[in-house]
């Protein structure tokens, strides 16, 4: 069975722990250092983070720090993996985990045997979501471009009373002659006739 590349990247991870100082925090930090991660600790949560972060382990509770943690979770530049550390399970805490978009969860008390599996699984979830989001973005861009070409074809069909095939040939020929992409040509056709109609 092929091993996941995530396992080999753990020592390169920049991990931020946002948890109040004490036994739980010390235990979590110790386990992450043993795994080999580069670990930083911050508490209370700051307004913003000025350094690169790959993974965040964060307290989550119904107190005044929640809004700061939520804002931070949306602001990480490289879409960090977010793992919540919870003391108890309540509908409010679970709703907060979903609002934050957590990729994993650790329940107290801390069990040293669950940190590594939780980290790997959450990292895998995070990477999978990013991959799907990239695919969705590409498909949305492609659909938007197809929409531009279709609009240009419809405009030509209406303007010159021609069939779709002929409108498509016209756009293709024009783009080849002008050495431009079909999209660019379609955008120019739309812009030209939009100006004329004003």
* Range 155-194 burial, b when 16+ CB lie within 10 A, else e: bbbeeeeeeeeebbebbeebbeeeeeebbebbbbbbeeee
C-beta neighbour count of 91 within 10 angstroms: 7
Q: Which residues lie across from 39 on neighbouring strands?
A: 15
C-beta neighbour count of 57 within 10 angstroms: 28
Query: pLDDT class for 77, splitting at 50, 70, 90?
Result: low
Q: ∠67-69-72 over CA atoms, to 5°?
A: 110
Which tokens hold the place of 19?
């948890």
What pTM, to 2 d.p., does this model score? 0.74
Domains and CATH numbers, the chain: 5-110 (3.40.50.2300), 136-196 (1.10.10.10)
Contact between residue 122 and residue 104 where contact means Cβ atoms under 8 Å apart: yes
Distance CA 23, CA 46 (A): 21
Alpha helices in 101-181 (DSSP H): 112-160, 164-177
Burial group, residue 122, by CB count within 10 angstroms (0-12, 13-18, 19+): buried
pLDDT tens track for 22-51: 998 899 999 999 999 999 999 988 888 888
Contact between residue 122 and residue 56 where contact means Cβ atoms under 8 Å apart: no
Q: 55-64, 83-92, 126-135, 158-167: which has the minimum mean pLDDT?
A: 55-64
């Amino acid at each position: 069975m092929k091993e996941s590349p995530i396992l080999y990247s753990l020592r390169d991870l920049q991990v931020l722990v946002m948890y109040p100082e004490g036994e739980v925090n010390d235990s979590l930090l110790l386990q992450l250092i043993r795994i080999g991660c580069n670990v930083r600790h911050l508490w209370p949560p700051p307004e913003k983070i000025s350094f690169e972060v790959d993974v965040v382990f964060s307290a989550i509770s119904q107190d005044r720090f929640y809004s700061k943690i939520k804002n931070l979770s949306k602001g990480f530049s490289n879409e960090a993996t977010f793992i919540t550390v919870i003391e108890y399970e309540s509908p409010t805490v679970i709703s907060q985990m979903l609002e934050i978009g957590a990729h994993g969860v650790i329940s107290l008390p801390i069990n040293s045997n669950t940190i590594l599996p939780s980290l790997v699984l959450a990292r895998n979830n995070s990477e999978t979501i990013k991959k799907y989001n990239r695919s969705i973005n590409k498909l949305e861009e492609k659909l938007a471009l197809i929409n531009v070409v279709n609009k240009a074809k419809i405009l030509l069909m209406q303007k010159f009373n021609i069939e779709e095939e002929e409108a498509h040939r016209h756009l293709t020929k024009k783009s080849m002659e002008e050495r431009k992409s079909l999209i660019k040509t379609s955008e120019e056709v739309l812009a030209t006739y939009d100006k004329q109609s004003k």
